[in-house]
Structure 1
Amino acid sequence: MCVAVGSVALLAACDDGGSRRVANAAPAESGKPNILFVMMDDVGIDQMTSFGYGGVNPPKMPNMDAVAQSGIRFRNTWAQPECSPARASFFVGRYPTRTHIYQALGPNDLANAQLSPYETAIPKLLRKAGYESAMFGKFHLAGPENNQADITTPALFGWDYFYGWIGGLPESVDLQAGGVVPGGTSNQCGFVPGVTAVDGAATGACHFPDNSCTQMIKNAPEQDVAGLQCLAAGGILVPGASCADPKPAGLDFSRYNGYYVSPLVILEQGQAEKVLPRDPRARGYRTTIETDAAIDWINSRTPGKPWMATVSYTSAHTPWQQPPGALMPGLVGGGADEYVNAEIFNNLTCTSDGTPPAMLRMQELQNRMTQALDTEFGRLLVETGIATWNPDGSLNYEPEASNTLIVIIGDNGSLGIAVKAPFDPTRAKGTAYQTGVWVPLIVAGRGVAEPDRDVEHMVNGVDLFELFGELAGIDVRQELPVSRPVDSVGIQAYLKNPAQPALRQTNFAISGLNQQADGGRNGPCVVPTVGGGGTCMQIATSKSVCGDNSGFWWGEGHEDLAPWDGDNAIDSYDTCAQVNQVRYGNNNAAQMYTIMPDQSVAVRETRYKLVRNTFKRFDPAKGIHDEVEYEFYEVDQAKGTPLLDENGMSKINLDGTPMPGWTLADDLAYKDLKDRLDRLMLSAVVCEGDGNIDGVVNQADLDNWNRIHSSWGKSSVYDFAGATPGSLPDGYTNGPDQDVVSLQLGKTCVYPPSVY
């Protein structure tokens, strides 16, 4: 397999897909298209020049731009504000109010907050139409923690093959670079940096887990520093050493390292293999691993049998870490200044203190990871025969030459520190503001009428569920149980008819807290902001994830580093409100942190948008208390200068009373959207006892409880209560849960319809 992508000559050399193009161009025996579904992580619409944005320093994405120019750009698409709820909505066509996945899954989230094994995901539906389905990269929908299926969860939802990471997130960057760098020494991003940085090296011995060794040296401007060369190859660099020297005793090939070393799972027909860090398959740049696995599977398909391949890229999620330089267009093959620039950024640190220079460095890292994703996406298309390289190294994508329909989407808005102007970094990922939910959606392929056009009508990520069904010739509403309605709208009509009127009149997004044992929640994490202070959020699923986002952790394992906190007896905190209470109590002059909402909900129609945020806050006069705030905006998707829901632009006060200039049109729209929001929130029904979500509590539920209780006994969708009556789920499937089912036997559940 050709993986070289660093220059025009090498790009051309990788075009070995002539026979593959013929095979891929052939229509399936059923006439159904193949589906290539590509998800980008934390890449909001603010990053995309093809959609009219990107700011002054956008990531270079020529391959996705080429596909966007040959297809349809849906310029008014919302996803959910965080990855797990958004991804679940793509595959089951239901909002978080129905799946009960409200934020990114973490190790403490119960099975009740994971995708239910009784949901009908799109791979199960496509199987009925003869499709094979595979996923590569980040799963992050269910398990492995608090789930009886452990690392086999993709099989529950119909995937025939999976190659990637069940939990999804990369591990933290190894600051000791495999044990080479002593603890406490300044190290750059998981590898020994170049000679311009502290502890750097121009050359070294690159050792591998199989005891082999290769001498690494940076002897040309376009090359990565020796440490990054070695890391990308799967090794650990001993700086300044020769392979003839004795191998140091401290090298540790079991250490995780961001995007370069982490255990993965290979799952085929329900049989799972866990690949540990010493295995070469678990070592190398993650975006390349994801791409290689997808290429291998697609090229091994039986000609004429339709398939759906989901390439769920982890990039550009934190922790941010330099990709191999060969994957970054504009650096390799560029001028001398770009080589110098590359050397500087090979010596970056991978954390930020919130100062403008540090934030710019982090933005550059994120840009490079996004650019590397785009490079590997182009290779994916070429090596599977969906596209070719032009002589100048650009992508030659001809939709009619392949029987594969391409769907590309961002899973949520960009992380605040990476947001491009004029979008708002304080209202980004994790919130229901425009910067947090507005994502790029591209659809291209054979049968798309009048390509290179924009669709300005509202689309929601849930609509992909119905689109995939339409492409396969399946009426998803006929195939699903009638008890629980879906929230998706079929959007295939936009592909066929450029004049298609709007199919959706309402858009909706929500973020919140996931179900944890006994009402627990993620610990508080404070991310620094420019100018001092910080924002306290409860999105980070652990102390390490908080650190990966340049945050300071206040949850379990909190370290008393601040003078005003050193004498406090409490060493961990449950809520951001408690953190502010401690700050205020120990130093009245201390600035309290801004708190992100526990729940952020938004609903939109063509012109107006309503946002409702719910907080747990501390106030010296009120103590810790709950607050609900409403905001009401005019928004649009104008290219370059969109009308956003920015601070100070709301047409109402936080208590819902009108601001000066309130018009009759404002009043009617506000009341209408508030009604839509209330009706959408009513769909958050939990029908106790109905663990298999078929709409009725019956003997099947008792049988399911008994099976899970006997074989597992821990967290499951049949964990309805704790040890005492009326208590919250406790992470066990036991007697109190059987009592709930027994008491509800014969009950029929009523699930409110959606609002489109």
Structure 2
Amino acid sequence: MLAKPPRFALAVALAAMTALLAACSDNDSSSTNNPPKPDPVASSKPNILFVVLDDLGVDQMAIYGYGGVAPPRIPNLTAIARAGVQFRNAWAMPDCTPTRATFFTGRYPSQINVLNALVATDLANSAPSPYEMTLPKLLKTQGYTNALIGKMHLTGSDLNGGFNLPYGYDSMWKLGWDYFDGFLDGAPYNIDTRAGLTTKGADVDSGPYKCGFIPTTRIDKTNGADSGACYVASGSCSQMAIGTDITTPGRSCLERGGILDPGQSCQSTLPSYIDFTAQNGYYTGRWVKSTAEGDGRVIPASDPSSRGYRSTLETDRALEWAGRQPAGQPWMLTVGYSAIHTPLQVPPVALIPEGTPGRNDNLVCSPLADSESTPVLTQATDLIDAHLITNLMITAVDKKIGDLLVGLGLAQYNADGTLNYQPEKTNTVVVVVGDNGTYVNSVKFTSPGKFDPTRAKASPYQTGVWVPLLIAGPMVSSPGREIPHMVGSVDLYQLFADIAGADLNKAIPANRPLDAQPMLAYLTDAGQSSIRSTNFTEMGTNLRAVGSEEEQSACVIPAANNVCTTLFPQKGVCLAQGGIWYGDNLSSDTSDVPAAGYNNCCQVQAYRLARDESTTFLPTATKAVTDGTYKLVRQTRNQCDPVMGSVSDPSAYRYSATGYDVADEFYQIDTATPDPKLDKEGSELIAITAPPLDTSSLNNAQQQAYTTLSAEMAQHDAVASYNQDYDTVSCPGDGNHDLVVDQKDLANWQELSRLNSGQSSWYDFNHDGKTDAADQMIIQNNMDKTCSGSSNT
């Protein structure tokens, strides 16, 4: 963490920006550095409400015909679907940051090197660039004001000393948003199993309270409480006990933003063991707020405004911003709900209708919920709890989405609590989408659906990339219909541009065309045929500083087929994903691992193989392309070599410097109900081998499909290779990716080398984690070079 809240030398930044503007005063007005001036605002321009749900795939959705034996209750999402259109065949990227970058850049991840979820050790080169024509910048040309509330995970964080956060807490402003009130982190922090009591352990993972609050003595005789003093961060305290409207004092106190001191009376001073600084899953947040004035700042978890259930706070902050907008001012409001990302945590009772299974079930928060007799029973109980809590979290966020529409004046609640939503009477387009498939422990694997938990989020398979997409608005013709045609997350960029009336031919350089395809016609014309002939998804490995491999740590996720990854740089993040941590500060179940831990998955694989434990590797790159019937998947994984010492010594293993396993998989898929044809293990049409596959056993239609998809995959591979090497080989010195190295690059380098102590930025061409004189020399050595660019798909 930074020693103090980073202001990132605001005075120096302003001076650098002034110099930048002076240096760039002769820039072409159509460049992304200087977007076109806004057209006169037309009063008819619709507002746009964009809602992004986290880790919520179609497997959860009864409106798609799935949801397993017990689907979550989603009356408000159902109302939106019935009042608008529902896309049955929408793909996202396999995980969050790449998908979210596609929304706002219109480019696939390999075009912009945003290949995986951003963590504190990734270079800024793998974060969305402020030199892109981002969606909020584009909409500004049409007079829109833009706000982003909640989670979006488009930037680095201030962890690791703000290493990859050049613009500090104003980063979202630099990407084009006029207002940001949300999180730089990718997910809620771990549940505080101490329930805010330092007497229960040294860190949040050391306590007995699985759900972050103290249960009753009926649930936990040893650690439970039926009464106590409920302290809130503002300093007040109230007595709380089981009574008329309180069944669990610990839970009720948490829902009010407080911490319960069990069995005690309120004191005039806060007891020293009450810890408001620690985060507690969905009931706290470390908010970051910034405006167009460049006043980015942190509101810590100890602040009263940061305490409360996230879905509620995210909604309230969105309504607060919208309420300040003047009449006639078109806006785009993006609300990134944290739900249902891990950690799974029960929501407030008030957000769950009476009669909902699990509404008042506090047993999931007790050791009594865990069968200690056998590991199999324990795992089964944990899975039941995970599905129960997932349903409750989805129902809670559905309630807040309804509250959001009502608060914006777009809908009303009927007397029976149902949502009366008539979008044709509004001037607002509502878009709701999932950012990737459901995470492993929450996947609905029973009929209807029969989705695959082992091929869920972070995989290119259907369970990992098939997401809900609902759109309603005044221009939607024949509402209540389902659209079967393929669309991708990248296409939403063009949809929003077309809704706002932006001219993409004018705004986007011809030599860097978008990947987004048009989709507005699906809304306005019920008979519109398919626009896309193929759909694509990908995930890869973000850029990290040269030589940083020894600083990584490994995490194994048992529920995801024992996959090993170095994506999670901290122990707490690994544990929150249900993982086993193999880095330093080891878990008790890895006590025989060297104290320093393992810094790559090859070492973990050797360690686990010696104990007859299986391990798979998260691919370094994974892609999939489909024509709607057939699907080609390409996976690239590291190979391992013992490079020193004994082969039986795990510490002797390293990733091979040159060795990668590349394998193609070919499937037939559909989106049928009740149980779709999925790309499950063993369902491939031909043997999985290195490309090209032997297609002799396929019929003519399958062979033709493979040939077409394989050619497209090769094109995506070429684009990825070109952009992966952009800074070092393809176009060194061109930090703003306008395909020319010029004075603008020198001015940009000068600004960034002065910010954030000159750490990682988009002008760190040699990828050493510094923006310094070595990078300036690369610009000067390549001055006036023009680059050809890569042809996208």
| TM over 0.5, shorter chain | yes
The alignment status of 1:310 with 2:331, answered yes or no, reads no
* Pairing partner for 1:719 from 757, 761, 764: 764
For 1:114 and 1:505, the matched residues in 2 are separated by 29
Aligned to 2:250: 227
Aligned to 1:671: 707
| 1:674 positional shift | 0.9
Alignment check: 8 A CA contact 2:670 2:678 kept: yes
| 1:652 positional shift | 2.1
Alignment check: 8 A CA contact 2:598 2:604 kept: yes
Aligned to 2:736: 692
For 1:574 and 1:349, the matched residues in 2 are separated by 36
Matched residue of 1:468: which SS? helix
For 2:369 and 2:491, the matched residues in 1 are separated by 36
* Pairing partner for 2:398 from 364, 367, 374: 374
1:63–1:595 distance in 2 versus 1, CA, 3 Å:
same
The alignment status of 1:500 with 2:528, answered yes or no, reads yes
- Map Cα deviations across residues 674-727 of structure 1 (whole Å, 9 max, x no partner): 110111222222232110111111122122223322444111111011xxxxxx
| 1:373 positional shift | 0.6
Aligned to 1:579: 604
Aligned to 1:13: none
- Map Cα deviations across residues 573-625 of structure 1 (whole Å, 9 max, x no partner): 232222112233xx3x5223132322211111121110011112458999965
For 2:497 and 2:458, the matched residues in 1 are separated by 29
Q: What letter corresponds to residue 344 of structure 1 in structure 2?
A: L
For 2:716 and 2:43, the matched residues in 1 are separated by 38
Aligned to 2:3: none
The alignment status of 1:590 with 2:612, answered yes or no, reads yes
For 1:663 and 1:63, the matched residues in 2 are separated by 45
Alignment check: 8 A CA contact 2:358 2:392 kept: no
1:520–1:651 distance in 2 versus 1, CA, 3 Å:
farther
For 2:68 and 2:457, the matched residues in 1 are separated by 17
For 1:525 and 1:34, the matched residues in 2 are separated by 43
Matched residue of 2:441: which SS? helix
Q: What are the residue-to-residue correspondences of 1:514-533 with 2, within 5 Å? A: 514-518=542-546, 520=548, 523-529=553-559
TM-score normalised per structure 2: 0.85
For 1:486 and 1:474, the matched residues in 2 are separated by 14
Aligned to 1:639: 673
| 1:217 positional shift | 2.6
For 1:556 and 1:149, the matched residues in 2 are separated by 30
Alignment check: 8 A CA contact 1:419 1:428 kept: yes
Alignment check: 8 A CA contact 1:194 1:346 kept: no
| 1:158 positional shift | 1.6
Aligned to 1:739: 777
| 1:224 positional shift | 5.5
| 1:355 positional shift | 1.1
Question: Sequence identity, in percent?
Answer: 40
Alignment check: 8 A CA contact 1:194 1:347 kept: no
Aligned to 1:613: 635
1:350–1:461 distance in 2 versus 1, CA, 3 Å:
farther
Q: What are the residue-to-residue correspondences of 1:190-209 with 2, within 5 Å? A: 190-198=212-220, 199-209=223-233
| 1:554 positional shift | 1.6
For 2:183 and 2:134, the matched residues in 1 are separated by 19
* Pairing partner for 2:662 from 618, 625, 628: 628
Q: What are the residue-to-residue correspondences of 1:465-484 with 2, within 5 Å? A: 465-484=493-512
Aligned to 1:148: 166
The alignment status of 1:445 with 2:479, answered yes or no, reads no
Aligned to 1:395: 419
| 1:51 positional shift | 1.4
Matched residue of 2:568: which SS? coil
- Map Cα deviations across residues 29-49 of structure 1 (whole Å, 9 max, x no partner): 531111000000000111111
The alignment status of 1:654 with 2:688, answered yes or no, reads yes
Aligned to 2:568: 540
Aligned to 1:5: none
1:180–1:167 distance in 2 versus 1, CA, 3 Å:
closer
For 1:648 and 1:33, the matched residues in 2 are separated by 48
Alignment check: 8 A CA contact 2:219 2:368 kept: no
Q: Name which of structure 1's ranges 664-673 and 570-579 shifts more when overlaid on structure 2.
A: 570-579
Question: What is the root-mean-square deviation in Å for CA atoms of aligned residues?
Answer: 2.4
Q: Which runs of 5+ in 2 are unaligned?
A: 1-40, 648-652
For 2:717 and 2:694, the matched residues in 1 are separated by 23
| 1:170 positional shift | 1.2
* Pairing partner for 1:342 from 330, 351, 361: 361
- Map Cα deviations across residues 490-523 of structure 1 (whole Å, 9 max, x no partner): 1100001111111111211111111111154653
| 1:160 positional shift | 1.0
- Map Cα deviations across residues 55-103 of structure 1 (whole Å, 9 max, x no partner): 1121111100110011111110111111011001001100001121111
The alignment status of 1:406 with 2:430, answered yes or no, reads yes
Alignment check: 8 A CA contact 1:720 1:740 kept: yes
Matched residue of 2:451: which SS? coil
For 2:711 and 2:506, the matched residues in 1 are separated by 29
Q: What letter corresponds to residue 261 of structure 1 in structure 2?
A: T
Q: Name which of structure 1's ranges 513-522 and 357-366 shifts more when overlaid on structure 2.
A: 513-522
Q: What letter corresponds to residue 747 of structure 1 in structure 2?
A: K
1:349–1:177 distance in 2 versus 1, CA, 3 Å:
farther
For 1:283 and 1:351, the matched residues in 2 are separated by 29
For 2:623 and 2:358, the matched residues in 1 are separated by 43
Alignment check: 8 A CA contact 1:78 1:439 kept: yes
Aligned to 2:717: 681
| 1:420 positional shift | 0.9
Matched residue of 1:159: which SS? coil
Matched residue of 2:485: which SS? coil
- Map Cα deviations across residues 391-413 of structure 1 (whole Å, 9 max, x no partner): 10011111112111100000011
Matched residue of 2:382: which SS? helix
For 1:120 and 1:541, the matched residues in 2 are separated by 31
- Map Cα deviations across residues 266-307 of structure 1 (whole Å, 9 max, x no partner): 212232232122211111111111000111111221112111
1:215–1:96 distance in 2 versus 1, CA, 3 Å:
same
The alignment status of 1:703 with 2:747, answered yes or no, reads yes
Aligned to 1:22: none
Alignment check: 8 A CA contact 1:180 1:237 kept: no
- Map Cα deviations across residues 335-392 of structure 1 (whole Å, 9 max, x no partner): 8x866x5343454899998712111111211221111110111111111111000110
| 1:540 positional shift | 2.7
For 1:751 and 1:317, the matched residues in 2 are separated by 37
Alignment check: 8 A CA contact 2:586 2:595 kept: no
Q: What letter corresponds to residue 241 of structure 1 in structure 2?
A: Q
For 1:489 and 1:436, the matched residues in 2 are separated by 22
Q: Which runs of 5+ in 1 are unaligned?
A: 1-27, 722-728
Alignment check: 8 A CA contact 1:84 1:105 kept: yes
Matched residue of 2:546: which SS? helix
For 2:622 and 2:661, the matched residues in 1 are separated by 12
Q: Name which of structure 1's ranges 344-353 and 304-313 shifts more when overlaid on structure 2.
A: 344-353
For 1:201 and 1:63, the matched residues in 2 are separated by 36
TM-score normalised per structure 1: 0.89
Q: What are the residue-to-residue correspondences of 1:79-228 with 2, within 5 Å? A: 79-144=92-157, 145=162, 146-179=164-197, 181-183=199-201, 184-198=206-220, 199-220=223-244, 223=246, 225-228=248-251
Alignment check: 8 A CA contact 2:231 2:258 kept: yes
